[in-house]
Chain A
Amino acid sequence: MTRSAPFFYHFSRIIERPGKIAGMKRKKIPAVSAGNKNSQKTMSIGVKITVTTLLLGVVLACSAILAISAGSSGTHFMETLAILVGNGDPDSVSSTIIWQIRLPRVILAAFVGGTLALGGLVFQALLRNPLAEPYILGISGGSAIGAILAMLLGLSYFPGVALFSFGGSLLVLAFVTTLAGATLGNTMLSRDSLLLGGVMMNAFCAAVIMFLISMTRSFQVQHILYWLMGDLAALQKGQLSILFLVLPCFAVIFIMARPMNLLLLGRETAAAMGINVKNTILVLLVVTSLMVSIIVSLSGLVGFVGLVIPHIFRMVFGPDHRLLVPSCLLGGASYLIVCDLLARVIPSSGELPVGIITALIGAPLFIILLIRHRN
């Protein structure tokens, strides 16, 4: 078939019409005006990411050193620094406290904070809803059920509790996404049905957890209850290495940062710009539940980090996830280190579960943010 002749040739006065049409090669859009390149005031995204990462890295290092140097046995700041860089007496009591107790705990706090903040960020992007969080979707609840079951069965932490925990979160995830798919009549995940399904699953998980606890008549109840409130003290030494399983998850999410930006614009728009929407959502959901369930099985339910931290950084940096992913990671880590420090130093004896601190800070802060946002 040949190209039909357009029948408005008289318009050539108005429209510049080149002689050749057929067989023209595609070329780049011709430059309309030169000299505009320099007028770009904004920093390139790479520079922005580097600067932000460095700044927040410094914040993280400072809060970590602060948290390592403070505690019930009262070590001093300079002494801590000396011990950390290897200049202190390796056999002293404070050296043992720092290397054996405080440093692992600070590392755990950093991982928990970073993971939960990132988990919140991912779910908020996927659901296009700033209230989404692993908790709201029931992912944390599912992994808590798995973990409690494994604890009651007397399984060792690894692989028993961790695997049960991941299994629990995946079951919830599968259920919630199937439900969302079924109500929509096709395989694309609808935003509202996913959220509603999650809320229901969360309520259901809470009931199952209470059921499991009430059926238990052993010394473990106290331990489980404490763990449920979010407890960073329960970490055993061998568990620390399991934490590093979440590092590849961070990398995957950073690679997915740009697709997440596009998903904010709607699934069809993202698809039209070359994103495989189904696969992207699936990978993000699985990776996020994996890292969240690892964290939940280690530290219990620490809430509000995933709600507060992404919200704050979104207000500062805007919606670009290439900036938000590293900043939530580092900011969430610093935030939880400080919260855990407060949990350790506020009570005159003993300590609080860190989940109580994050909730006490997080809930009011979130309400303030909401009110300000509305104005």
Chain B
Amino acid sequence: MQILDIKDISLEYRDKIILENVNFSVCAGEFFMVIGPNGAGKTSLLKVLAGLQKASRGTLTVKGKNIESYSRRNLAKIMAIVPQQVEVGFPFTVAETVVMGRTPHLGMLGMEDEEDFALARQAMEFTDVVHLAERKLFQLSGGELQRVIIARAICQQPEIILLDEPTTALDPAHQLKIMDLMERFCREQGTTVVMVSHDLNLASMYGDRLLLLKEGREVRTGTPGDVLTRDLLEKTYGCRMQVDESPLGRVARVTPVPDKYLSPDEENL
């Protein structure tokens, strides 16, 4: 079943083309990853998917209905987004921040009950931030903050989670923890995950399908094996890449190759 269907989406901002005729669809329960060089339009694409940015052209269908027909509240019940940057200027505690994820599910006065707090606590346990519950947001490290924001998205109980480079600020252990967690949600809850990432190896190990973007255009969509090929990556990123089989097993491993490691006959790309 297609939960997200993107047809001919284009996005222009002040005569600058950010996305051009992007077409793809995401199935319910799929782990879908968006990769591509800086400025490829990955974050813009995610904002369009979340309804935060209106596309200049094209249609976006969420669960069979045009995204325009949803109210913000109903959309928030379906979709949560983990943005790249978050505002931490106001002294909310971690617990207060996480429970804010309950917003679309609350009544008019917006008062949380026991169940909401229990869900928030579970979400904090999932991302390993319970011990930080009473800390203020601005006292956290980048990685801790990222895990708090992911907990807030989980607390929202969405069917689709959109994440914008969630692992960039994390150490390897927490990277794997977040990726495993997202995978668990995917497999056990049937949650759809759409993740923007720069980490091609994480994409290779976790993504069911990848979308490779360059300059707002779709280069290829497919399984990691289809997309993570040396030719395609070198053309897209403009640097030498080595792609081989990971020692872990049948996963592709991508290694960007610095010039100094090139043999003399390879130097002219």
Q: Given A29-B119, A32-B122, A318-B92, are A274 and B104 also a contact pair (CB < 8 Å)?
A: yes
Q: Is A309 an interface residue (CB 8 A)?
A: no
Cβ contacts under 8 Å, A25 to chain B: 190
Cβ contacts under 8 Å, A3 to chain B: 27, 29-30, 208
Nearest CB on B from A8, distance (A)? 5
Q: Given A6-B208, A273-B101, are A26 and B189 also a contact pair (CB < 8 Å)?
A: yes
Q: Is the CB of B104 within 8 A of A7?
A: no
Q: Is the CB of A7 within 8 A of B251?
A: yes
Nearest CB on A from B174, distance (A)? 16
Cβ contacts under 8 Å, A269 to chain B: 83, 86-87
Cβ contacts under 8 Å, B50 to chain A: 272
Nearest CB on A from B102, distance (A)? 9
Q: Is B108 an interface residue (CB 8 A)?
A: yes
Interface string of B184-205 (1 = CB under 8 A from A): 1001111100000000000001
Q: Is B262 an interface residue (CB 8 A)?
A: no
Q: Is B172 an interface residue (CB 8 A)?
A: no
Q: Can you show 27 pairs from A to B with CB atoms below 8 A apart?
A: A3-B208, A6-B31, A7-B223, A8-B206, A8-B249, A8-B251, A15-B187, A17-B187, A27-B189, A28-B157, A31-B122, A32-B122, A37-B121, A45-B112, A255-B109, A257-B110, A258-B110, A264-B89, A264-B90, A264-B92, A265-B86, A269-B86, A271-B52, A273-B80, A273-B101, A274-B73, A275-B103
Q: Given A1-B25, A16-B184, are A45 and B111 also a contact pair (CB < 8 Å)?
A: yes
Q: Is the CB of B110 within 8 A of A319?
A: no
Residue of B nearest to A320 (CB): B96
Nearest CB on B from A9, distance (A)? 8
Q: Which of B2, B72, B109, B125 contacts A1 (CB 8 A)?
A: B2
Give the docked Cα–Cα distance between A16 and B96 (Å): 31
Interface string of B26-54 (1 = CB under 8 A from A): 01011100000000000000010011100
Give the docked Cα–Cα distance between A4 and B25 (Å): 12
Cβ contacts under 8 Å, B244 to chain A: none
Q: Is B17 an interface residue (CB 8 A)?
A: no
Residue of B nearest to A266 (CB): B87
Cβ contacts under 8 Å, A347 to chain B: none
Give the docked Cα–Cα distance between A28 and B111 (Å): 20
Q: Is the CB of B125 within 8 A of A265?
A: no
- The winner among B79, B110, B209 for most chain A CB atoms within 10 A is B110
Q: Is A18 an interface residue (CB 8 A)?
A: yes
Q: Is the CB of A33 within 8 A of B125?
A: yes
**Chain A contact residues: over half helix, strand or loop, or mixed?**
loop
Q: Given A8-B251, A16-B184, A262-B103, are A29 and B14 also a contact pair (CB < 8 Å)?
A: no
Q: Which of A32, A271, A319 contacts B91 (CB 8 A)?
A: A319
Give residues 1-59 of A contacting B (CB, 8 Å): 1-4, 6-8, 10-11, 14-18, 21-22, 24-29, 31-33, 36-37, 40, 42, 44-46
Q: Is B106 an interface residue (CB 8 A)?
A: yes
B→A interface (CB under 8 Å):
2, 14, 25, 27, 29-31, 47, 50-52, 71-77, 79-81, 83, 86-87, 89-93, 95-97, 100-101, 103-104, 106, 108-112, 114, 117-119, 121-123, 125-126, 154, 156-157, 159, 180, 183-184, 187-191, 205-206, 208-209, 222-225, 248-251
Residue of A nearest to B99 (CB): A45
Cβ contacts under 8 Å, B31 to chain A: 6
Residue of A nearest to B85 (CB): A266
Q: Is A75 an interface residue (CB 8 A)?
A: no
Residue of A nearest to B208 (CB): A6
Q: Is the CB of B103 within 8 A of A319?
A: no
Known: A33-B125, A258-B110; 11 extra A-B contacts, CB below 8 A, are A6-B208, A15-B187, A28-B157, A258-B103, A271-B52, A271-B72, A274-B104, A318-B91, A319-B91, A320-B92, A322-B110
Give the docked Cα–Cα distance between A26 and B187 (Å): 11
Cβ contacts under 8 Å, B103 to chain A: 258, 262, 273-275
Q: Is the CB of A276 within 8 A of B72?
A: yes
Q: Is the CB of B224 within 8 A of A7?
A: yes
Q: Is the CB of A26 within 8 A of B104?
A: no
Q: Is the CB of B249 within 8 A of A10?
A: yes
Residue of B nearest to A315 (CB): B91
Q: Is the CB of B86 within 8 A of A4?
A: no
Q: Given A4-B209, A18-B188, A268-B52, are A262 and B125 also a contact pair (CB < 8 Å)?
A: no
Give residues 123-151 of A contacting B (CB, 8 Å): 128
Residue of A nearest to B106 (CB): A258
Give residues 304-330 of A contacting B (CB, 8 Å): 318-320, 322
